[in-house]
Amino acid sequence: MNRDELRRALLETLSDVAPEGDFDRLAPERPLRDQLDIDSYDFLQWMVALHERLGIDIPETDYPRLATLNSAIEYLAVHAPASRP
């Protein structure tokens, strides 16, 4: 997956978790939690959604690396499985 595809996957799963979020104004370097008003429960749901979509099992200790949109894209670019069966 290239970065554009990863970005799309991230935004689509996020908008399922936080449907009321203002995605048009999302600043890619600012924390997602603050901008989308997501709590730890929503974050966990997001991890589940990413697992289902990309087949990636993100350990809890790596959660801080998905704090912003850009850092999440970077993280997935390195860790996401190359392709889905």
Q: Which stretch binds other proteins (CB under 8 A): 2-10, 44-52, 67-75, 77-85?
A: 44-52
Residue 71 beta carbon to other proteins: minimum distance, rounded to whole angstroms: 19
* Contacts of residue 36, Cβ cutoff 8 Å, sequence gap at least 6: 14, 18, 21, 22, 26, 42
Q: How many CA atoms lie within 13 A of 71 on its CB side?
A: 11
Distance CA 85, CA 13 (A): 19
Q: Which is nearer to other proteins, 2 or 59 (CB)?
A: 59
Query: In the range 52-81, which residues lie near other proteins by CB under 8 A?
Result: 57-61
- Interface mask toward other proteins for 17-36; x: CB under 8 A: -xxx----------------
Give me the phi and psi of 53, to 5 degrees please. Answer: -80, -40
Q: How many residues contact other proteins, by CB under 8 A?
A: 16
Give me the phi and psi of 68, to 5 degrees please. Answer: -120, 165
Q: Which residues bind other proteins (CB under 8 A)?
A: 18-20, 37, 39-41, 44, 47-48, 51, 57-61
